Amino acid sequence: MNSNLEANFVVAVKASVLAGKEIMKVYQQEFEVSKKADNSPITEADNKANDCINKLLKQTEIPIISEENDDISFEIRKHWTKCWIVDPLDGTKEFVNRNGEFTVNIALVNEGVSTFGVIYWPVKQLLYVGDVSQNLAFRLQLTNHQFSNRLLKDVRELSPKRAHKSLKVLVSRSHASNETKKYIDNLQKTGQPIELKSIGSSLKFCQIAEGNAHLYPRFAPTMEWDTAAGHAICNAVNIKVMQVNSTNELEYNKENLYNPNFIVTFKQ
């Protein structure tokens, strides 16, 4: 399969890979863990990845919302028609626990809708990309954290699968909740066999987009940078990221950057 990406998207892909390379340098040695104001962990890897991504994305002249950047007032942000939404190291808890399930997330948002997403899994050197305008999502295996445009001819297109026998349901490895348990309990009452799998970070979106799982209910706090890239990858292959108790999908660059609870599933 041959894929073409517009120039700004290539910049985002390169930024994610270079950030992943920086993250792995820290991961392979001893590192200190600090606490942010909300008591969540942060490491040198978060900051190095963020610096790397910001440096490259600034070339696009599109404004950036990042977990590790200073907050930008909604009075400024509400005038943006486009913006990047970035999590330079999604799954810091998984990074600290050294289980490998952490990612780099970069998304382009247009008028509140995530239209392009890249997720890089540094430990596996796997790159996931979704372009909603082309209805295209693909996976690409890298070597030595190196990306070039010529590699785009060797991508593997993602193809989600509907559940036939058992329903494979993904849950967060580090953010379980009673509401999630109740939701799964109700699923089990339907009589359909349920297989549960725990996995960290935005990899849950990738697992559904490439057909390894069918459903991801999230009834625990997330921020826009946790979901924007995965949302685009899923939308590109006809998977919805629906707000719970709503007919709307998740929206981005809101005044409050927290997401409501959501469910990732096939479009009906």
What is the value of pTM for the model shown? Answer: 0.96
Give the model confidence (pLDDT) of 119-177 as tens digits.
999 999 999 999 999 999 999 999 999 999 999 988 999 999 998 889 999 998 776 78
Query: What contacts 112, CB < 8 A, 6 or more positions away?
Result: 251, 252, 253, 254
Query: What contacts 21, CB < 8 A, 6 or more positions away?
Result: 122, 145
Residue 147 token pair: 């990306």
pLDDT at position 192: 85
Percent above pLDDT 70 for the chain? 98
Lowest-confidence pick of 233-237, 249-253, 262-266: 262-266
pLDDT at position 2: 60
pLDDT at position 27: 98
User: What count of other Cβ atoms lies within 10 Å of the Cβ of residue 60?
Assistant: 17
Percent above pLDDT 90 for the chain? 85
* Mean pLDDT of the 210-215 span: 96
In one letter, which amino acid is 244?
A: V
Of the pLDDT bands very low, low, confident and very high (cuts 50, 70, 90), residue 23 is: very high
pLDDT at position 173: 78
pLDDT at position 204: 97
User: Which of 149 and 57 is assigned the larger pLDDT?
Assistant: 57
| 100 φψ region: left (φ > 0), alpha (ψ -120 to 50), beta (else) | left
Pick from 55, 52, 58: nearest CA to 21: 52
Of the pLDDT bands very low, low, confident and very high (cuts 50, 70, 90), residue 268 is: low
pLDDT exceeds cutoff 80 at 259: yes
Q: From CA 266, how far away is CA 263, in angstroms rounded?
A: 10
**Average pLDDT for the chain:** 94
* Mean pLDDT of the 59-70 span: 97
Q: From CA 216, how far away is CA 168, in angstroms rounded?
A: 9
Query: What contacts 24, CB < 8 A, 6 or more positions away?
Result: 122, 123, 145
pLDDT at position 1: 58
* Mean pLDDT of the 226-238 span: 98
pLDDT exceeds cutoff 80 at 55: yes
